Chain A
Amino acid sequence: MSESQVSARWLHDTLSGDATLAGYAPGGVWDSQAPENVDYPVVVIGWQGEFDVYVVGAARVMASQAWLVKAVGDEASFDVLYDAASRIDVLLHDTSGTATGGTVFASTRERGMRLDELARGVPYRHLGGVYRLLTQKS
């Protein structure tokens, strides 16, 4: 199992296991892309990049990974996403944990993100952040 799999699993477990976030984003938590015909808002996570952390002897300690975590809604307003994005931040900023296959030593928000688009005539809004995860596989 790679570090990105550990991180993805930890993110999914952490976010989907929170009843408060489930209330704000009833469409669930999805990796990369949510399916069509889902209830909004949804939470989408996506890998954004990484580099390895080494010590003497080329021993790889962990991977430092950037993950985009965002709430996506189908209304022309960010208002319906604020609660979900705030809850995401509570769950992921300055936290840590374990998942099958490894450990997430630290999770901190690197920057916020905010995006709007018009797709198939529907206004979609994305609100969340990019989180830096320090992940070691077992």
Chain B
Amino acid sequence: MLRTNTVLKFDRTGAFGGSIAAFRIKNVNDAAEKIRDKWAELAPQDSGDYADSIVIRGPGSATGYTGAFIIAEAENQRGAPYPTFVEYGTRFAPAQPAARPAADAIRNSYIDSFRNMLR
């Protein structure tokens, strides 16, 4: 399984207490779902396999409970993962970035959600 470099990783603010932590996990989930949906929208739609392979892992123990990974797991017919090659391009194919634009697209709304939480 090849994992792209798009990882949501946030600072912990455990001193804020459980209720804040719970709210933060909701923020993380909301942001992760928005990125996944946007990533799938921007991904090449040739067969649909790439877009369909984008999943969310976490929050949980593997992601520090307050983080989430968004991963594209698509493989070609030989079982070779290819989303990174699509994102960064190959020698004979230009890059078709989808993960980074998706993360950038929801970045401001994610920051706003924390700003509103702290008001």
Give the chain B neighbours of A44 by CB distance below 8 A. Answer: 89
Give the chain B neighbours of A122 by CB distance below 8 A. Answer: 91
Beta-carbon contact of A50 and B88 below 8 Å:
no
Closest to A40 in B: B91
Cα distance A68–B95 in the bound complex, in angstroms: 9
B81-104, CB under 8 A of A: which get 1 and which 0? 000110111111111010011111
Range for the number of chain A residues in contact with chain B: 20 to 34
A33-61, CB under 8 A of B: which get 1 and which 0? 11010000000101111110000000000
Which one, A81-89, A92-100, A101-109, A113-121, is touching chain B? A113-121
Cα distance A78–B54 in the bound complex, in angstroms: 30
Give the chain A neighbours of B97 by CB distance below 8 A. Answer: 46-49, 68
Beta-carbon contact of B104 and A66 below 8 Å:
yes
Beta-carbon contact of A51 and B90 below 8 Å:
no
Beta-carbon contact of B5 and A49 below 8 Å:
no
Give the chain B neighbours of A66 by CB distance below 8 A. Answer: 100, 104
Cα distance A115–B83 in the bound complex, in angstroms: 12
Least CB distance, A46 to chain B, in whole angstroms = 4
Query: Does B108 touch A at the CB level, under 8 Å?
Result: yes
Beta-carbon contact of A119 and B92 below 8 Å:
yes
Cα distance A124–B91 in the bound complex, in angstroms: 7
Beta-carbon contact of B88 and A119 below 8 Å:
no
Give the chain A neighbours of B101 by CB distance below 8 A. Answer: 48-50
Scan residues 61-85 of chain B and give those whose CB is less than 8 A from a CB of chain A. Answer: 84-85
Query: Does A134 touch B at the CB level, under 8 Å?
Result: no
Query: Does B107 touch A at the CB level, under 8 Å?
Result: yes
Neighbour of B95 across the interface among A32, A34, A36, A117, CB < 8 A = A32
Beta-carbon contact of A119 and B91 below 8 Å:
yes
Given contacts A44-B89, A115-B84, A115-B85, contact A49 B94 (CB under 8 A): no
Cα distance A124–B94 in the bound complex, in angstroms: 14
Closest 5 CB pairs of A and B: A49-B101, A49-B100, A32-B94, A49-B104, A124-B91
Residues of chain B touching chain A, judged by Cβ–Cβ distance below 8 Å, are 5, 84-85, 87-95, 97, 100-105, 107-108
Residues of chain A touching chain B, judged by Cβ–Cβ distance below 8 Å, are 32-34, 36, 44, 46-51, 64, 66, 68, 70, 72, 74, 111, 113, 115, 117, 119-120, 122, 124, 126, 130
